[in-house]
Chain A
């Protein structure tokens, strides 16, 4: 078989064997409806409960504060719309940032059309939100602040602790904002303790951390007012009706139980990122790192976004694909649209730099050997492609 070097882990990850086994086991044997009162239902309910405990466990939260959803986008929808409509009587101002995932970004645009007022915070050239901007944007009628944890295109870790302090101060001064964090890209890479940090809502998705697709979670701190977005049988504490996706929930549990090695894994990925970034910048002219340099605390270990000036990102992506190396030109959901470089644009990149941007994203199973191969192939390909420019 041809080599396969998968460096598109920010788009999705390969489920682990344990995850697949759990899911198959569940599909074959635990097919009851968790709401049924007979034995088969109770067995299925137990699967869901154990998984809820497991997810709550990694968040150091109470299981009652975790509900399952169909994934990151749904969690974001429930959190943002749910909070906005629950608090609409107290205010209509929402704060977000320029670099949010399109799920959040277009959601906020929808709310704007529905009479809410949205302030979009800028980022600096490394893609980081400035807390001073947040301070200045907060108002009496601000009901929600939604800023992501790790940016999916650049890997920039946002200053969550400082943001928390600003929001705490606002809350003390009788302001009300709820705080939502889209932590989809942080799961499994960075320890997440929303309760400790005063986060009200935190979105997660299993498939970004070797779990199955179609399952995610929303952490909701006790007492957070939310309007459900799906009505029905009242599952998930009435916040998300619909029969639970039991096999996927079981898979999610299997994925999070692998997080024991998170620290070493993160270290390993950071090493790979450093090798790749340094190898490219040193060996290939006219390249730039979009985001924070290796070693910086605010650089996520698994994402490196690099511009190859004068080369079209898509063409480079396909050339790498021809060598069995899989990457991305941006967020996978948006790479179809030609004009989708919102995040890089916010960081002030030139058109040429945006067009030539490639995102490499690692998982803990990637190896140093793979990175060496990728750098070698890039050297050849970029040189050749530039000769046709």
Chain B
């Protein structure tokens, strides 16, 4: 008998056809990385068809559960007892699992007429096991009824389920199913450059893409001295939260002040400045993507949220890049984004009141919401775009952020 193990289930990977092994290898190595802080070499990960078994050794199971709950691609996972698939052994382990569950829930059966309803589930992937699933479930049920007083069967709405998964000559017994974040293993969908401002939306956008398997490198535009060291710290803090899913995040900090100054001094009309500024951000992001083998840009734009996020402005901004621009929150309401941000724990950092570089250099006139490309091109006419971008590229600072840096 082996305990202190987790049985991990993933959802979409199962349908990935001939690429399946790529996804399975990735989720394996992501799980390994996620559990790395619990001790190198101590943790054993085994691939079984459609499931992953993690043997924790003497590592703390509650910590492991916390880390696993952040690994994208995991649908659910359960602490399990592993035994050889024999009838008697299954009964005994099931009883042990049931008793553990009662203890966990603080229920003392037999006292004060306490009753607990339960059901059993048996899945027999291994047909060499002689008893059919339904029969085995019934036999196990009556064994538990006989051995633990105070139990009552309820097939539809039980307080507790005891499940047995029989595969490859072994049986895995468990009663808990913990939720993973779902999605696809990080790194199986290529890489994207996330334009990370420090506000509420962009970290959510980054998280959503990570959930779909996209590895993220963050790009932040810093406008020293118009924004200070504290706004940089805030972006690093956001990366720390995202890094919980990825061990580390590569953060690029581009110095944007010179570009902002050049635009300010140029003949660019005031109401076009923000759009022109954002075109520069995208140009830099695209260059950075090429340099780092990224295949997409990711932004927290939401259509119509601010005047620079109209479809016309998005068109004007998209013009400068050939890469797909992923905007996962594009059709979300602000309150929906806020809810997500709270769930992924970036909200409290995002609302700290340090100015990001968008709030300065704001023109005193309302910005144009319907720029035509002709007018944009004219607004940029006097700017030496290549030199400005080259200069910014040269000055980019790159740091690695881990969840405990």
Residues of A within 8 A of B (CB): 314-322, 336, 338, 387-388
Name the interface size band of chain B: 10 to 19
B41 located at the interface, meaning its Cβ lies under 8 Å from any Cβ of chain A in the complex:
no
- Would A388 and B225 count as touching, CB distance under 8 A? no
- Would A322 and B264 count as touching, CB distance under 8 A? no
- Would A318 and B225 count as touching, CB distance under 8 A? yes
- Would B225 and A321 count as touching, CB distance under 8 A? yes
- Would B225 and A315 count as touching, CB distance under 8 A? yes
Q: Residue among B224, B225, B261 with the most chain A CB within 10 A?
A: B225
Q: Across the A-B interface, how many residue pairs have beta carbons closer than 8 Å?
A: 26
Q: How far is the CB of A251 from chain B (nearest CB, A)?
A: 28
- Would B226 and A318 count as touching, CB distance under 8 A? yes
- Would B353 and A336 count as touching, CB distance under 8 A? yes
CA distance A338 to B360 in the complex (A): 15
In addition to A316-B225, A318-B227, A322-B225, 15 A-B residue pairs with Cβ atoms within 8 Å of each other are: A314-B228, A315-B225, A315-B360, A317-B228, A318-B224, A318-B226, A318-B229, A319-B225, A320-B225, A321-B228, A321-B229, A322-B224, A336-B353, A387-B265, A388-B361
Q: How far is the CB of B309 from chain A (nearest CB, A)?
A: 25
Task: Provide the main secondary structure of the chain A interface.
Answer: helix
CA distance A71 to B224 in the complex (A): 34
Residues of the B chain whose Cβ atoms lie less than 8 Å from the Cβ of A322: 224-225
CA distance A316 to B225 in the complex (A): 7
Q: How far is the CB of A149 from chain B (nearest CB, A)?
A: 31
14 A-B contact pairs sorted by A residue (CB < 8 Å): A314-B228, A315-B225, A315-B226, A315-B360, A317-B228, A318-B227, A318-B228, A318-B229, A319-B225, A322-B225, A338-B353, A387-B265, A388-B264, A388-B361
Closest residue of chain A to B261 (Cβ to Cβ) is A388
Residues of the B chain whose Cβ atoms lie less than 8 Å from the Cβ of A314: 228
Q: How far is the CB of A33 from chain B (nearest CB, A)?
A: 34
CA distance A112 to B360 in the complex (A): 39
Q: How far is the CB of B351 from chain A (nearest CB, A)?
A: 13
Residues of the B chain whose Cβ atoms lie less than 8 Å from the Cβ of A320: 225
Residues of the B chain whose Cβ atoms lie less than 8 Å from the Cβ of A318: 224-229
Closest residue of chain B to A337 (Cβ to Cβ) is B353
CA distance A388 to B226 in the complex (A): 11
CA distance A318 to B353 in the complex (A): 16
CA distance A117 to B236 in the complex (A): 46
Residues of the A chain whose Cβ atoms lie less than 8 Å from the Cβ of B224: 318, 322
CA distance A316 to B265 in the complex (A): 19
Q: How far is the CB of A379 from chain B (nearest CB, A)?
A: 16
Residues of the A chain whose Cβ atoms lie less than 8 Å from the Cβ of B226: 315, 318
Closest residue of chain B to A336 (Cβ to Cβ) is B353
Closest residue of chain A to B361 (Cβ to Cβ) is A388
CA distance A338 to B359 in the complex (A): 14
Q: How far is the CB of B14 from chain A (nearest CB, A)?
A: 51
CA distance A321 to B232 in the complex (A): 14
Shortest 6 CB-CB contacts between residues of A and residues of B:
A318-B225, A319-B225, A318-B228, A315-B226, A322-B225, A315-B225
Q: How far is the CB of A26 from chain B (nearest CB, A)?
A: 31
Closest residue of chain B to A316 (Cβ to Cβ) is B225
Give a binary string over B273-296; 1 marks a CB under 8 Å from any A CB, 0 the rest: 000000000000000000000000
Q: How far is the CB of A21 from chain B (nearest CB, A)?
A: 30
Closest residue of chain B to A320 (Cβ to Cβ) is B225
Residues of the B chain whose Cβ atoms lie less than 8 Å from the Cβ of A317: 225, 228
CA distance A322 to B226 in the complex (A): 11
Q: How far is the CB of B232 from chain A (nearest CB, A)?
A: 11
CA distance A315 to B361 in the complex (A): 12
Residues of the B chain whose Cβ atoms lie less than 8 Å from the Cβ of A316: 225
Residues of the A chain whose Cβ atoms lie less than 8 Å from the Cβ of B360: 315
CA distance A35 to B264 in the complex (A): 66
Residues of the A chain whose Cβ atoms lie less than 8 Å from the Cβ of B229: 318, 321
CA distance A319 to B353 in the complex (A): 20
CA distance A318 to B354 in the complex (A): 13
Residues of the A chain whose Cβ atoms lie less than 8 Å from the Cβ of B265: 387
CA distance A77 to B280 in the complex (A): 53
CA distance A321 to B224 in the complex (A): 10
B243-300: which have CB < 8 Å to A?
Answer: 261, 264-265
CA distance A124 to B225 in the complex (A): 34
Residues of the A chain whose Cβ atoms lie less than 8 Å from the Cβ of B353: 336, 338
Closest residue of chain A to B227 (Cβ to Cβ) is A318
B203-240: which have CB < 8 Å to A?
Answer: 224-229
Q: Residue among A322, A338, A387, A388 with the most chain B CB within 10 A?
A: A388
Closest residue of chain A to B228 (Cβ to Cβ) is A318
CA distance A387 to B360 in the complex (A): 15
Q: How far is the CB of B261 from chain A (nearest CB, A)?
A: 7
Q: How far is the CB of B400 from chain A (nearest CB, A)?
A: 24
Q: How far is the CB of A311 from chain B (nearest CB, A)?
A: 11
Residues of the B chain whose Cβ atoms lie less than 8 Å from the Cβ of A338: 353
CA distance A388 to B265 in the complex (A): 8
Q: Residue among A315, A321, A338 with the most chain B CB within 10 A?
A: A315
Q: How far is the CB of B339 from chain A (nearest CB, A)?
A: 27
Q: How far is the CB of B19 from chain A (nearest CB, A)?
A: 49
CA distance A321 to B226 in the complex (A): 11
Closest residue of chain A to B355 (Cβ to Cβ) is A314
Closest residue of chain A to B225 (Cβ to Cβ) is A318
Q: How far is the CB of B268 from chain A (nearest CB, A)?
A: 14
Residues of the B chain whose Cβ atoms lie less than 8 Å from the Cβ of A315: 225-226, 360
Q: How far is the CB of B245 from chain A (nearest CB, A)?
A: 30
CA distance A269 to B357 in the complex (A): 37
Q: How far is the CB of A112 from chain B (nearest CB, A)?
A: 27
CA distance A213 to B353 in the complex (A): 26
CA distance A318 to B264 in the complex (A): 19
CA distance A16 to B101 in the complex (A): 60
CA distance A314 to B360 in the complex (A): 12
Q: How far is the CB of A340 from chain B (nearest CB, A)?
A: 12
Residues of the B chain whose Cβ atoms lie less than 8 Å from the Cβ of A336: 353
CA distance A387 to B260 in the complex (A): 13
Q: How far is the CB of A210 from chain B (nearest CB, A)?
A: 24
CA distance A264 to B265 in the complex (A): 49
CA distance A387 to B227 in the complex (A): 18
Q: Residue among B228, B265, B361 with the most chain A CB within 10 A?
A: B228
B336-390: which have CB < 8 Å to A?
Answer: 353, 360-361
Q: Residue among A316, A319, A320 with the most chain B CB within 10 A?
A: A319
Q: How far is the CB of B264 from chain A (nearest CB, A)?
A: 6
Q: How far is the CB of A15 from chain B (nearest CB, A)?
A: 22
Q: How far is the CB of B262 from chain A (nearest CB, A)?
A: 11
CA distance A74 to B306 in the complex (A): 46
CA distance A320 to B225 in the complex (A): 8
Q: How far is the CB of B228 from chain A (nearest CB, A)?
A: 5
